[in-house]
Structure 1
């Protein structure tokens, strides 16, 4: 039987010669160390990337202990600083109905904070530290630029273990997740970075060291199915809470999901976008129903602003559009149409 050998090995032999056992025994050992060295390089690169992310963002991550009016502990979770004067982003379900919190930093300091506002629709909340101090901050990145398979790192305080780090990938984008008040949170990131109780409110960080999500939930009983609120949603909510103490939203009475547009249809209507917001529900008697919108229509623009999906639709229905007539461009089957809608302010 002819000798088997690795064709990637190089031999200095005449064409008439075939490698004998002695030649193979001399060459084979060089392959294993070389492969091991390559694997070490890859592992070191991965480890260095995670370590760099943690070094950059870790100091901004805090633990929140929530207090009731009687001073008793009402819960705990994670958060992270987004401004040097002590603005802390966390989850609405972490703060609950509490009005104050004790904030513990990575270096062991403790501060008092008041809850500025919460938004149950997106499960996000904002707190401010009351003491005069300067804090390390995390930068909010562009969640729209994410791709499936991208490396992400979650930092938080799961099960009371402070400053815990897990790593994984972006498993899916544009998910919908039911919030505690029953409404759907749109444009949610799915990841397999391990999350546990106490991770809620902590940052999900990209390989660029930017926060691209706020960790919010896991599917109990499932392995590695975890979710984070997209940073683009968080930026909108933070701005609204700072300005109004709550999130004011225009209401048109629809449910929506991100929908990929057929390329031929997009080209036919000279659309530069690849997706829109598919209407999965139109409330009977609501603003959209009165305007003529129907389930199955795909909204592609509001007041001339491109709508790429459900997340964009939510963000563009902001306070400025309340009680103001807006144009809505949409696709119905292969036809492009426009209607006019007067959004109202959403209550409850």
Structure 2
């Protein structure tokens, strides 16, 4: 006699798995929905609309709108510097419809961030900044903002990539940017990108026109650094040497003679007459290959190297001049707020 008991047991198991699959899918969808709902309910009340008011002094100046996130109960608001622009008159509208004036504590075009202080007598709903270093690709994120005038809009997606670099409005490179596919539109700028634990892990800053699902947010760790600098100094402190530069190739024969591996460097185009670079003896046409022990492979590397830790220190800069290596001592000073120079 043939025994089908084992086969029947296997068939029953397969049938049971097929029956259970839709239940599991429903549970996953419910968990996803509950995560987004939970984030929205916790962080949504801390998201505000930021409105800049046009002044009568300039007929060309127009008011604008964006988003912001309240990060403290006394009214500190993070948003984008391109949302604030040069406006001196700013209003914020909270999720309950309350409107109040706000003043600019500081802007940092280099990271496209701005810090505002709302003029309120009551405590505001606020959200906490998280640690963006803990993010992983594929992680669930939620974006909240006011795109195209539609208030309190919620979109969800994942972290598409980490450590991206994009250009800020003044041409400098913003480092450690988060790429996400959470849908963003004009008006989302300055709003929060939030993790499933309801921590703000980014400030939404840019979209790529014509692309689908490619959006960017400034990492919360960058935002934490910027707001601490603004609170302490009114701006972000960076080193300044008084040059305009561009990335340029280094001929192989010059690299061999100089004993360096660089294929690219930062070509100095112009020098401020009274700047540290001119005072140190640098000349237009010099190609920077190294600064304070850091290899320089282009203008972005030079900008990154000129951070606050190199202010008021004598540093060694290695350059190529007419194809020959030179080492020059230079003493960077603090760059003035909103300066437009390369470094």
User: Do the aligned residues in 2 keep the contact of 1:176 with 1:184 (CA within 8 Å)?
Assistant: yes
- Tell me which residue corresponds to 1:102: 91
Asked whether 1:234 is paired with 2:229, we answer: no
Asked whether 1:317 is paired with 2:307, we answer: yes
Asked whether 1:67 is paired with 2:45, we answer: no
- Tell me which residue corresponds to 1:151: 140
Alpha carbons of structure 1 residues 31 and 225: separation in structure 2 relative to 1, 3 Å: same
Asked whether 1:294 is paired with 2:278, we answer: no
CA shift at 1:186, angstroms? 1.5
- Tell me which residue corresponds to 1:33: 19
Alpha carbons of structure 1 residues 232 and 326: separation in structure 2 relative to 1, 3 Å: farther
Helix, strand or coil at the partner of 1:83: coil
Counterpart-to-counterpart distance in 2, 1:60 and 1:341: 46
CA shift at 1:314, angstroms? 4.5
Asked whether 1:53 is paired with 2:39, we answer: yes
CA shift at 1:107, angstroms? 1.4
1:174-216 deviation line (CA, Å, top 9, x unaligned): 1111111111212111111100000000001112211111000
CA shift at 1:249, angstroms? 0.8
Helix, strand or coil at the partner of 2:126: coil
CA shift at 1:14, angstroms? 6.8
CA shift at 1:230, angstroms? 1.0
Alpha carbons of structure 1 residues 279 and 36: separation in structure 2 relative to 1, 3 Å: farther
Asked whether 1:44 is paired with 2:30, we answer: yes
Asked whether 1:282 is paired with 2:266, we answer: yes
CA shift at 1:345, angstroms? 2.6
In structure 2, the gaps of 5 or more residues are 248-261, 318-327
Counterpart-to-counterpart distance in 1, 2:230 and 2:137: 30
For these two proteins, the number of residue pairs brought into alignment is 293
If the length of structure 2 is used for normalisation, what is the TM-score? 0.73
Counterpart-to-counterpart distance in 1, 2:35 and 2:196: 7
**RMSD between aligned alpha carbons?**
3.7
Helix, strand or coil at the partner of 1:247: coil
Given candidates 199, 209, 217, the residue that maps to 2:188 is 199
- Tell me which residue corresponds to 1:248: 237
Asked whether 1:131 is paired with 2:120, we answer: yes
Counterpart-to-counterpart distance in 1, 2:263 and 2:149: 41
In structure 1, the gaps of 5 or more residues are 1-12, 257-277, 301-309, 329-338
User: Do the aligned residues in 2 keep the contact of 1:279 with 1:296 (CA within 8 Å)?
Assistant: no
Counterpart-to-counterpart distance in 2, 1:298 and 1:16: 76
Counterpart-to-counterpart distance in 2, 1:152 and 1:299: 35
Counterpart-to-counterpart distance in 2, 1:314 and 1:143: 20
- Tell me which residue corresponds to 1:179: 168
- Tell me which residue corresponds to 1:263: none
Asked whether 1:215 is paired with 2:204, we answer: yes
Alpha carbons of structure 1 residues 87 and 327: separation in structure 2 relative to 1, 3 Å: farther
Alpha carbons of structure 1 residues 297 and 116: separation in structure 2 relative to 1, 3 Å: closer
Helix, strand or coil at the partner of 2:71: strand
- Tell me which residue corresponds to 1:114: 103
Counterpart-to-counterpart distance in 1, 2:125 and 2:69: 9
- Tell me which residue corresponds to 2:324: none
